[in-house]
Amino acid sequence: MNPAGPPLPLDPLLDAVLGVGTDLELHTTLQHLVDSAAELTGARYGALGVIDPAHGKVTDLFTTGLTEAERSRIGRLPDGHAGIIGALITDPRPLRIDDLTADPRSCGVPPGHPEMHSFLGVPIHVHEEAFGNLYLTEKRGGPFTEDDLQLLRVLASQAGIAIGNARLYEAARQRERWIDGAAAVTTALLTGEPAADALTTVAERARILADATAAVILQPTDQGGMRIVAAATEDDAPRPAHARSLRSPQSDLIGTTIEPGSAVLEQLLGGEPVFIEDSATDPRMTTRVRTRFGPSMMLPLQAGGRLIGTLALPRSRGARAYTSVERLLATQFASQAALALVLADAQQSRQRLAVFEDRDRIARDLHDLVVQRLFATGMMLESTRRRAGSPKVESALDQAVDELESTIQEVRTAIFALQQPPADAPTTFRGKVLRETAGAAAVLGVQPSVHFTGAVDTRVTDPAAAHLLAALRRALAAASRRPDVTRIEVAVDARATLPDGRTGVRLTVYDDGTTDGVGTGTTVTWQAPVSSEIGPG
């Protein structure tokens, strides 16, 4: 090392080497390294700059000797593009300088930075790959010596091994977190969450795993662009699963669209991952929210040749860039999440099909058994009525027949409702009337009975249907304001005869509530020609 001078202080060096290799957590290892280097050489200030070889800049800086007040006065830390720090990045060889202020490569120090003269710097390599540099300044008792340089080189060499181990450990921990996260997402999606909640679940989990400021999911639009349909940010308050559909932040994110023609759009629609160094300045980014973000990953959610969308994970401006390991793990997570989304969708489709089949079976049973038996019973009562000699018996039998006909109509209405898709908006007039009355039942506390007469769906035109539905809503709303309502009847007659003799449609809504303090009930009727405007009867 230095045969002409005194022997190197091996005990402090050994302590420093052993201390650096005792922790497998990378951040702790790096901070311990810079602390040990300063103590070993007697430097007042020390720093370890982690560099990005591809861009030749410092991406992270660990310091010792600076107080919080001094760090605050310095402000933004150097990026390594100039000065002595930049020189060591450009030419990664050990460097010892007695006076920084006299070196032509020095560009001075920023305002508020402590005055520095003596300097010692050595590169750190991990598996022959440039990792960063150790910088020491202001040796106590004079300039740095060759022995100091040799000590620092030995420490840097051993530190490379310790850093390599810590990086392997950190990578293993990252992989474990991402694998656990993907498994958790798969489990959550296969429990039967709705589509919107499933996308939000993927975004929330990915944001946490990637340590991102936000996570958004974009899906293709009919116009050829992509639109944000789900988002999660670090400011979101935790919400229970049943309340996710009510979440409100990210209103400025959800709905944001990448318009056709964007340079990044072709890659996204083609299912290619896109990695952005700075969203705010990258010319490929064109959305209005890009200015708030820095490094970003945009990963395809693709499974079985089907592109579900894109998962974007932006970090805030000035945040550290994503490493190659993080990019790989996030890409694998996106593939797993896409597969889980496809499986969840297939599972929900099977469940819906099972519901449809069960409803169809119930509807057939009602039609083939219940309705026919009720009809047969009605025929029997009608025959008995004709043979009865007592007016009272005839009246009772007439009432029983009317009740059976009403029951048959109710059952047929139930059969029609069973044949409608449970989650889809109805397209027929009959289905829309049933949807309105079912929705009103939750408010009224009473399920309205509904009767249809005639070919309602074929005879009622769209303009007349719109007016009739509006009238139905008004009648149900009025009924909800009346006290003591226990029965509501809705009747739609497509074979009604209007006052002018034309055939039209008549809507009648009756409720037995109290009006003006009298429990007489209320009947409201609307009617319209098949193809003209509607008016109250």
Same domain, 221 and 326: yes
- pLDDT (0 to 100) of residue 314: 92
Split at pLDDT 50, 70, 90, the class of 106 is confident
CA distances from 433 to 309, 353, 412 (A): 37, 24, 14
Split at pLDDT 50, 70, 90, the class of 90 is confident
Same domain, 43 and 154: yes
Last residue of a domain, one of 282, 311, 345: 345
Same domain, 150 and 59: yes
Q: What is the CATH number of the domain that holds 527?
A: 3.30.565.10
Split at pLDDT 50, 70, 90, the class of 465 is confident
pLDDT digits (tens, 9 = 90+) for 379-396: 777 777 776 767 777 777
Q: What is the CATH number of the domain that holds 74?
A: 3.30.450.40
How many CA within 13 A on the CB side of residue 300?
16
pLDDT for residue 53 is more than 60? yes
Q: Name every residue whose Cβ is closer than 8 Å to that of residue 449 and which is 6 or more positions away in sequence.
A: 406, 410, 487, 488, 489, 490
Chain centroid to CA 412: 43
Q: Which residue has the higher pLDDT, 415 or 514?
A: 514
Lowest mean pLDDT among 248-262, 276-290, 312-326, 411-425: 411-425
Structural domains of the chain, count: 3
Last residue of a domain, one of 345, 380, 411: 345
Residue 521 lies in a domain: yes
Same domain, 16 and 144: yes
pLDDT digits (tens, 9 = 90+) for 119-172: 888 888 887 778 888 888 888 888 888 888 888 888 888 878 877 777 788 888
Neighbours of 257 (CB within 10 A): 16
Same domain, 25 and 165: yes
- pLDDT (0 to 100) of residue 238: 46
Same domain, 214 and 310: yes
Q: Are 506 and 526 in contact (CB under 8 A)?
A: yes
Mean pLDDT along residues 530-536: 47
- pLDDT (0 to 100) of residue 261: 77
Domain that holds residue 15: 10-172
- Taken in order 175, 181, 187, 190, the sign of the CA dihedral is negative
Q: Which residue has the higher pLDDT, 130 or 14?
A: 130
Residue 4 lies in a domain: no
Split at pLDDT 50, 70, 90, the class of 292 is confident
Same domain, 341 and 490: no
Cα–Cα distance measured from residue 151 to residue 1, given in angstroms and rounded to the nearest whole number = 9
pLDDT digits (tens, 9 = 90+) for 193-231: 666 678 888 889 899 999 999 999 888 888 888 888 888
Residue 400 lies in a domain: no
- pLDDT (0 to 100) of residue 241: 44
- pLDDT (0 to 100) of residue 277: 86
- pLDDT (0 to 100) of residue 231: 87
Report the mean per-residue pLDDT for the chain: 76
- pLDDT (0 to 100) of residue 497: 82
Last residue of a domain, one of 119, 144, 172: 172
Same domain, 201 and 250: yes
